[in-house]
Structure 1
């Protein structure tokens, strides 16, 4: 079944929410990254998960069909985590499996740290740990969190030099080139598939305006070192071997700082969800939620 809703998560804030799968199946909440609509979760992946789960995906504030309000009502990143919880509340979901990508992986960590009673399991993709504990390499070398490898300079340059006032065609092509870099260098890049997905997102959103709300939103109060080290929620960390935003040491660091976390490697995967990784990713998620 396919169901759509507009859910109020805060005064004056309504989020677009979609459900797929049987209403009585275990709930699974997909939490996307910064500035990304819920439609950035590929339909093929959503359908694979919906064969076993009541899959819920949504548009963050300032994306897609949800309220665009940051310019008049600024909010913090922690408010986006409260939105995710409010989506579950609105749909009557007591406990859910969480799958978070990039910023969504950070929001998932906030939920499993602050509201573990609401989380059945968490799968973290393309993200970093909300912990100050240093990373210990296989040879025993300790690396402070701030010294872990950072974002590919090509991506930083693209962000810094984003053209203003692009028309819809120009915005579409900028997004395709952005995804080309996020994709990583290991797997072939299917520009036409990405272009088609971004066309769907533009049509869903209804305009080609760009928001930088999530880049501007305050990250204060996000560290959860002690709670992550003590959690009893089962956590799976996806290690993407070609990840250009949070390179592989970040996945291993996550698994070190989150109690009991397991790592699964998806060869060739970058900071994106192209067709070749969807099968292995769905299999890993379903094995984790089924356990």
Structure 2
């Protein structure tokens, strides 16, 4: 049986007038806090349970639903917000839960939000881990041979992903929506690991059950994404930062991770073999090991 302080705890945090976010905490309450920041249109339930449990062996793990996802307020149409407001939500979650500082782990858009917090509120961050994302910097990537590559010339999103994203999501019922999500994960996973259809189907069943609806919000795609560059601030970064390189990544393919590790001062790079823009079972062990190895260098109470 788990100790009382290790039970899963759910709580809502108000981040703006009338806007509240669902949060969940697990792991010892007196362990260093670790906040998981998900990608666009994705709720906190998208973080796989085995990964959350592995991290909770050493941390007070927090995950949450962004605005317009899961059990959080779906408010964009009445109260439009900017992408940078979603980064302020990270701070609001920490404030609402009484956490002074935390290790941050951000995936995709969550990796961008984590960079914004690194740049704007470094005093709140014990360490940062960035997954499946791109640098919020105008600094060119420098190849190993010393050749500079402008950001605009770095590889773009894979055609098969763009093809999926080009079609608006239509409501053909819950079964068809579940099929669509599974196919989405198949493409996002890349081509280096076998695809576990049953795993992702069950993951999305839990996501839908948690939200209470299979409807898909487009709020994050419509939010104003201006004002996100933090070139100078990231170049001055002093927070221990880990960049995870995923060789099968189809959204921000290599050398985006290498570029990110160059523009965030002091960042180090680790590769997870076979990883794409998804979190299948095969990558969870190596990913947890990489994150915990990184946070071990700065474990102290937040």
Q: TM-score range by the shorter chain?
A: over 0.9
Q: Paired residue for 1:228, among 221, 231, 234? A: 234
1:281 matched to 2:283: no
Distance 1:136 1:12 in 2: 46
Counterparts of 1:163 and 1:265 in 2: how far apart (Å)? 33
Q: Aligned to 2:141, which of 129, 135, 138? A: 135
Q: Distance in 2 between matches of 1:133 and 1:98?
A: 24
Other structure's SS at 1:24 match: coil
Bigger mean CA deviation after superposition, 64-73 or 22-31: 64-73
Q: Could you give the per-residue CA deviations for residues 53-104 of structure 1, whole angstroms, max 9, x where no partner exists?
A: 0000000001000001111211100000011110000010000000000000
Q: Partner residue of 1:73?
A: 79
Which residue number corresponds to residue 47 of structure 1? 53
Give a deviation string over 1:19-64, Cα, whole Å, max 9, x none: 0100010000000000001000000000000000000000000100
Q: In terms of mean alpha carbon deviation, does 163-172 or 126-135 score higher?
A: 163-172
- 1:204 equivalent in alignment to 2:210: yes
- 1:148-169 alpha-carbon deviations (Å, 9 max, x no partner): 1011111111111134122111
Q: Could you say which residue in structure 1 is the equivalent of 2:39? A: 33
1:180 to 164, 183, 186: 186
Decide which of 146, 152, 157 is 1:146's aligned counterpart: 152
SS in 2 for 1:188: coil
Please give the root-mean-square deviation of Cα atoms over the aligned residues, in Å. 0.7
SS in structure 1 of the partner of residue 192 of structure 2: coil
Q: 1:195-229 deviations in whole A, cap 9, x for unaligned?
A: 00100110000011111111111111110000100
Moved more, 146-155 or 27-36: 146-155
Offset, 1:248 = 1.4
Find the aligned partners of 2:170 and 2:276 in 1 and give their Cα distance: 27
Determine whether 1:92 maps to 2:77: no
- Asked whether the equivalents of residues 94 and 100 of structure 2 are also in contact (C-alpha less than 8 Å), the reply is yes
Contact residue 169 and residue 216 of structure 2 kept, 8 A: no
Aligned to 1:102: 108
Q: How does 1:240-251 map to 2 (within 5 A)?
A: 240-251=246-257
TM-score w.r.t. structure 1 length? 0.99
SS at 2:21 equivalent: strand
Provide the rounded CA distance (Å) in 2 between the counterparts of 1:199 and 1:187: 22
1:19 aligned onto 2:21 = no
Measure, in 2, the Cα distance between the counterparts of 1:141 and 1:166.
Answer: 49
Give 5+ residue unaligned stretches, structure 2.
1-6, 298-302
* Matches of 1:220 and 1:278, distance apart in 2: 33
Mark the runs of 5 or more structure 1 residues left unpaired by the alignment.
none
Alpha-carbon distance between aligned partners in 1 of 2:86 and 2:61, rounded to the nearest angstrom: 19
- Matched length: 291
Please report the TM-score for the alignment, with normalisation by the length of structure 2.
0.95
| Counterpart position of 1:121 | 127
Whole-angstrom distance in 1 between the partners of 2:206 and 2:65: 14
CA distance in 2, matches of 1:213, 1:103: 13
